[in-house]
Structure 1
Amino acid sequence: MAGTPPMTVTRVRLWRWRRNPLRRHSDVVEAWIVLVTWILAVLGGILAGQAAAGSMDAAFSARRAQVHAVSAVLTDGAARTPTAGSGYDDGRVWAPVRWTSGNGAVHTDRAKVFPGAPAGSTVTVWADGTGRLVSPPATPAEAMLQTVLAGVLVAQGAGTVVWVGGRLVRARLVRRRLTEWGEEWKRVGPEWRNLSGGRG
């Protein structure tokens, strides 16, 4: 009808927590599921993120403790240009180096140096406890960045898993409630139609 005002819908916040004659037991259960899901998602995500960050930080600290920087000498001049097609390229080239460990043992190996470095140049390389050359450990800034990223990603993943689990439980509860409503309507529907003048 032209003169009928539009129907407005008023949203009542937290209605599942308030006492009212339309609230069912399943509504209260659903409210608790939502609350517990959010609490577990946030707290679980934070705890998992902190655990991952702590693990990463411990791994970086252990790595730094296992290697040490040594001063080595180029035994031959380095190539002037990097080899093409060598995959990841940081602009350096491989060259033979020699160094003496703390116990006086002389070691030789190949290390990455800047192109064109002449023989006899001093370079810093990283070695482990056995005297084998290894890649340098992450700098404090790199370690911090990777630790933070790992913590954030794990926190987000853990929180999402808990949230999805809560949504699945809630969806199952909603399906059960709809089934109960259907069963109830089968009993009440015919009486309602008779009272409203409909055909039963």
Structure 2
Amino acid sequence: MRGTRRVRRLLWRWRSNPLRRHDDVVGAWIVLAVWMVIAIGGTLIGVQTAHTADKSFAQVRRERHPVQAVLVESTAPTVNMGAGTPYDQVRATVRWTAKDGATRTGRALLDPGQRAGSKVVVWLNGRERLTTEPTSASTAAVEADVFGAAAALAFAGLAFAAGRVVQWRFDQRLYDRWGREWEQLGPQWRRKTN
């Protein structure tokens, strides 16, 4: 019984009621439409963004491949910013053999404190140019989910703001109409109360 009363209170704008105005129904539909756009649109945009980001990360993983290289110059030790951070690496010249058998050299980010002549692993892109190591599948999945959630929240924020603008314009129109009606009816009431 209590649940039925709660539902009736929530849906009062749609129930038959002598005090219900057409504007109440329109306002309720505006609110419902905004929340539906937020729920459905936000979900679709979030899922699509996460899927697209995941595909992009997978494409990068497919295009890049590791290659054994030889360090041409020693890497100087640096102040350690923290294990695994990109700031604890230094640029150094490396030499590797390309697929066509030619020897190539270039500068890559490597761990500090290594001696010249030591073997290192560098990453090449599809055009056989030095690049960074691609994001792992698990890290890429987390990043894709974060991008999807951010896109869904951004869309929800924009939809909510647009809904508030529509509701504000609707309310302003109502206030203006009520003001005009009061200007017509107000003088009649003053005569009766004086």
TM-score (structure 2 length as normaliser): 0.84
Cα gap change, 1:39 to 1:144, in 2 (>3 Å): same
Q: Is 1:95 the counterpart of 2:95 in the alignment?
A: no
Q: CA RMSD in A?
A: 2.1
- What is the rounded CA distance, in whole Å, between the counterparts of 1:127 and 1:89 in structure 2? 18
Question: What secondary structure sits across from 1:125 in the alignment?
Answer: strand
Report if aligned partners of 1:107, 1:131 keep a CA contact under 8 Å in 2: no
Q: How does 1:117-136 map to 2 (within 5 A)?
A: 117-136=114-133
Report if aligned partners of 1:57, 1:147 keep a CA contact under 8 Å in 2: yes
Report if aligned partners of 2:108, 2:131 keep a CA contact under 8 Å in 1: no
- What is the rounded CA distance, in whole Å, between the counterparts of 2:23 and 2:193 in structure 1? 31
Q: How does 1:1-200 map to 2 (within 5 A)?
A: 12-81=9-78, 90-194=87-191, 197-199=192-194
- The alpha carbon displacement at 1:114 in A equals 2.4
Q: After superposition, what is the alpha-carbon deviation per residue over 1:94-126, rounded to whole angstroms, capped at 9, x for unaligned? A: 222111122212111122222221222111100
Question: What secondary structure sits across from 2:19 in the alignment?
Answer: coil
- What is the rounded CA distance, in whole Å, between the counterparts of 2:157 and 2:74 in structure 1? 55
Query: What is the identity, as a one-letter code, of the residue corresponding to 2:88?
Result: G
How many residues were matched structurally? 182
Name the one with the larger helix percent.
Answer: 2
Question: What secondary structure sits across from 1:26 in the alignment?
Answer: helix
Q: Please, which runs of 5 or more residues in structure 2 have no aligned partner?
A: 1-8, 80-84
Report if aligned partners of 1:78, 1:117 keep a CA contact under 8 Å in 2: yes
Q: Please, which runs of 5 or more residues in structure 1 have no aligned partner?
A: 1-11, 83-87
Query: What is the identity, as a one-letter code, of the residue corresponding to 1:137?
Result: P
Query: What is the identity, as a one-letter code, of the residue corresponding to 1:98?
Result: R
- What is the rounded CA distance, in whole Å, between the counterparts of 2:56 and 2:39 in structure 1? 26
Query: Structure 1 vs Structure 2: percent identity of aligned residues?
Result: 41
Report if aligned partners of 2:109, 2:132 keep a CA contact under 8 Å in 1: no
- The alpha carbon displacement at 1:172 in A equals 1.2
Deviating 4+ runs (over 6 angstroms)? none
- What is the rounded CA distance, in whole Å, between the counterparts of 1:91 and 1:174 in structure 2? 58
Q: After superposition, what is the alpha-carbon deviation per residue over 1:41-64, rounded to whole angstroms, capped at 9, x for unaligned? A: 111111111121122112111211
Report if aligned partners of 1:79, 1:115 keep a CA contact under 8 Å in 2: yes
- The alpha carbon displacement at 1:89 in A equals 6.0
TM-score (structure 1 length as normaliser): 0.82
